[in-house]
Amino acid sequence: MQPLTFFQRMQRWLGFDIARTQYRYGKDARFGYISESRIADTWTKTTCGYCSVGCGMLVGTRNGRPVAARGNPDHPVNLGKLCPKGLSEHLMIEAAGRATTPMLRRGGRGTPLEPISWDKALEVMVTRIGSIQERFGNDSLGVISTGQLVTEEFYTLGKLVQLGFRSRNYDGNTTLCMASAVSGYKLSFGSDGPPGSYADMETADVVLLIGANIADNHPILCNRLRKKPGQMLIVVDPRVTKTAMMADLHLPVKPRSDIALVNGIAHILLRDGLVDREYIREHVEGLDEFVSFVADYTPEAVSATTGLTIETIEKVARLYGEAKSAFIGWTMGVNHSTQGAHTVAAINNLAMITGNIGRTGSAPFSITGQCNAMGSRESSFTSALPGYRKFDNPEDRKALAALWKIEEEELPTARGLAYPDIIEAAVKEQVKAIWIIATNPVVSFPNLNLLKHAFETTEFVVVQDGFYPTPTMDYADLVLPAAIWGEKEGTYTNSERRISKVNAFAVPPGEARSDFDIFLGLAERLGVKDRLFPGWSSTHDAWLEWQKVSAGRMCDYSQFTWQQIEDEGGKQWGGERLYGDGQFPRENGRALLHCVPCLPFVEQPNTEFDLILNTGRTVEHWHTRTKTGAVAMLDAMSPNAWLEMNPADAERLSLRQHDRVTVRSRRAYVRDVELRITGIVAPGQVFMPFHFAEQNSNLVTLGAFDPISREPNFKQCAVCVERSALK
């Protein structure tokens, strides 16, 4: 027999071969080398619970236990392919470290968490929050949620927090993630909503990816590239990422010089007449001001700011301007900035002046992050009223109040505090209770020490998570064990607005309950169940109401049933693309050009802190590793944090490959990070993944936020690096 390749071994280890064989030859197919225990007796269709690509998958179970996963060959997003996280996702369900019972710190802070009953847990939660709200007002409760629940849960949670607990201070980790894209879309087009589809990536003549490392973070999207003959892939990223290695043209811009680049491209397009005058005349406003604004962004000036050559800038502008269809995708290299919302608006400018929007192959496309960041944007009642309704729009308020059969006055007239402002308010002791759902801020929030301070001064902290313990639970007074992906039913909406079905194939461990059941339990205790959720018992009840609430809105979910969504591999609200008619949801129906200056990032390096720290991700791990850290193979491939440093800097600092180093900023330091000396990062820059609680990059990152979107500037802060002293 031929020895197996590494890849085959990996597939076999994951049960992938078995899955394929069974799919072809039926579930009774048997092979000598396959252990019986890995052969599925049931296959459940579902959608991957990691990233926003939204791959369709089949999970095989045997006697109710997950034994295999494979890509759903009929799902239009991934056509049967999965990345390593999707392929191994079923393995985390039964991993050690799941939360199985509610826990309370009976004796207060400093005492251990101890198991209690659900009855007691819900009672404690409602009583403690009630007493805090009585003393300090309703808004003294802060709620921080996520992009990783099913839409039906987001919809339920929004009503529960805003109308049940009556606190406006409710936001999601999506503010650490997608908020700049949302704000940027609103600035340009009057509404959120990514205008294009993955199909547009495939059919575009030119694909420009800005601050998006899809090879690591949206791997299955890479299959959309390189299909169209002659397609040009241009990647803008200060690092030579795996995605940059795939590109025809990599533009290693200086950190945060993207706005200059984009304005410079606009300058050349206008100078050379590579714009769509008719489109602008019919559908865009603000041209005159824009033309005079970008006049200063000459190729020479842009070259000096970005570090790119004039020839490169001219070439990229020509490629973009001459393309019949041009697609711009971006992710956190754009959003994670104090100028994030404005950078998005500047990107949208390019699409507007060239008419690259609402056509096949053409879109300014925010690639979202979490599996259901979109569902949360649309239904969650955090930064907008559900269904992309505006807090301050009287018609929106009236319509929603009528749908919900409540008085209009019950609806808040403005959004409450955004995530970083909830933390700030906790530091100032204005927010006194915090409820955290499906997010792990102690690893993911910038400038950890301030966050810790916020939790320490908060009277009552509740953490609702599928795993136990998590680093955030160190600060919890109450822990609520939640069911996770694979144990609950509902829908996720992916980056291209595709609503896909999520199904349960396993039962939650111990006493863990779905977030939905926890929300209904709390509503019952609060005495609002019958008013807000009359007769509800399953997420399908929430779906039916959400369909009514979203009907006729841009994000209209009323068109499809759960069954249709499942049978057809998801359905896109708004169809394949938005704005095909050039009508934008602004008062005059036109999209607006914004004049966006390129400002230096907040914390510039100096002689003491001489390096710029960039943080991000790797393919094997998901965020704070509660899930991927529990999958042995993924963890073994990437077991610890590292720091990438250019050879020139390593030499200057007398550091050697694999040294253990300390990364220090003005705020704190992180010790014993493995040094990787590599040309992937430019001189003067270092890169570190943020996945590892043990070597937490967010000890050193900067708490600076976009004034519009409130998104943190995760991608640049000033640090110095030295060899760690021996302990």
Ligand X SMILES: Nc1nc2c(c(=O)[nH]1)N[C@H]1C(S)=C(S)[C@@H](COP(=O)(O)OP(=O)(O)OC[C@H]3O[C@@H](n4cnc5c(=O)[nH]c(N)nc54)[C@H](O)[C@@H]3O)O[C@H]1N2
Nearer to ligand SF4, 77 or 265 (CB): 77
Q: Rounded CA gap, 426 and 442, in Å?
A: 15
The piece of 5-13, 191-199, 437-445, 657-665 that touches ligand X (CB under 6 A) is: 437-445
Q: Applying CB under 6 A, does 306 fall inside the site for ligand X?
A: no
Residue 48: name its binding partner from ligand X, ligand SF4, Mo ion, none (Cβ under 5 to 8 Å by kind): ligand SF4
48 lies in the site for ligand SF4, by CB under 6 A: yes
59 interface partner picked from ligand SF4, ligand X, Mo ion, none, CB below 5 to 8 A per type: none
Q: In what order do the strands lie in the sheet with 56-62?
A: 42-47, 56-62, 65-71
Question: Per the structure block, which two tokens stand in for 43?
Answer: 């296959």
Smallest distance, ligand X to C-beta of residue 94, A: 15
> Which range in 49-57, 186-194, 417-425, 459-467 contacts ligand SF4 by CB under 6 A?
49-57
Structure tokens at 68: 């295999």
Pairing of strands 326-330, 284-285: unpaired
Is residue 333 close enough to count as binding ligand X by CB under 6 A?
yes
The 4-43 site mask, x for binding ligand SF4 (CB under 6 A), equals ----------------------------------------
Rule CB under 6 A: say whether 484 interacts with ligand SF4: no
Could you tell me how many residues of this chain bind ligand SF4 (CB under 6 A)? 14
Among candidate residues 478, 472, 467, 480, the one with its CA nearest the CA of residue 454: 472
By beta-carbon proximity to ligand X, the closer residue of 18 and 87 is 87
Query: Binding to ligand X by residue 432, rule CB under 6 A?
Result: no
Helices (H), 26-147: 84-87, 118-136
Show the 3-state SS of 474-510: HHCCEEEEECCCCCCCEEEECCCCEEEEECCCCCCCC
- Six-digit token pair at 597? 């200056």
Beta bridge partners of 705: 712
Residue 262, C-beta contacts closer than 8 angstroms, at least 6 positions apart: 210, 343, 346, 347, 349, 350
Least separation in angstroms between residue 143's CB and Mo ion is 19
Contact flag: residue 464 with ligand X (CB under 6 A): yes
Nearer to Mo ion, 369 or 386 (CB): 369
- Nearest residue (CB) to Mo ion, 396 versus 706: 706
Q: Min. distance of Cβ 81 from ligand SF4 in angstroms?
A: 8
Q: Which is nearer to ligand SF4, 85 or 239 (CB)?
A: 85
Q: Is 345 in the site for ligand X (CB under 6 A)?
A: no
| CA distances for 602 relative to 331, 337, 495, 715, 717, angstroms | 20, 9, 30, 11, 8
Report the partner that residue 616 touches, choosing among ligand X, Mo ion, ligand SF4, none (CB closer than 5 to 8 A by kind).
ligand X
Q: What residues does 115 pair with on adjacent strands?
A: 103
If one counts every other C-beta atom within 10 angstroms of the C-beta of residue 360, the result is 17
Nearer to ligand SF4, 85 or 664 (CB): 85
Among residues 51, 266, 522, 598, which is the contact residue for ligand SF4, using CB under 6 A?
A: 51
Compare residues 369 and 703 and give the one whose CB is closer to Mo ion: 369
Residue 64: DSSP 8-state: T
Q: How far is CA 465 from CA 74, 118, 504, in A?
A: 32, 14, 17
Query: What tokens appear for 104 in the block?
Result: 């309370």
> Is 214 a residue that touches ligand SF4 (CB under 6 A)?
no
Distances 1 to 4, 34, 328 between C-alpha atoms, Å: 9, 16, 48
Q: How far is the CB of 388 from ligand SF4 (least distance, A)?
A: 24
Q: Is 523 in the site for ligand SF4 (CB under 6 A)?
A: no
Ramachandran angles phi, psi of 164, nearest 5°: -90, -65
Which of 439, 458, 495, 662: binder of ligand X (CB under 6 A)? 439
Q: By the 8 A CB rule, do 626 and 470 touch?
A: yes
- Which candidate, 509, 475, 511, 513, places its Cα nearest to that of 105? 475
Provide the minimum distance between the beta carbon of 584 and ligand SF4 in the complex, in angstroms, as a whole number. 30
Minimum CB separation from ligand X for residue 26, in Å?
33
Residue 478 contacts ligand SF4 per CB under 6 A: no
Region of 26-34, 214-222, 316-324, 635-643 interacting with ligand SF4 (CB under 6 A): 214-222
Q: Token digits for 204?
A: 């575009």
Kindly list the distances between the CA atom of residue 456 and the CA atoms of 105, 267, 342, 369, in Å, as whole numbers in the listed order: 14, 51, 35, 30
Segment (H or E) for 300: helix 299-306
Using CB positions, name the residue nearest to ligand SF4: 86
Binding mask 53-92 for ligand SF4 (x = CB under 6 A): xxx----------------------x---xx-xx------
The site for ligand X (CB under 6 A) is made up of 51, 146, 148-149, 173, 176-177, 210-213, 216-218, 236-239, 241, 253, 255-256, 258, 331-333, 336, 369-370, 437-441, 443-444, 464-467, 470, 482, 484, 515, 614-617, 619, 621-624, 626, 690, 697-698, 701, 714-715
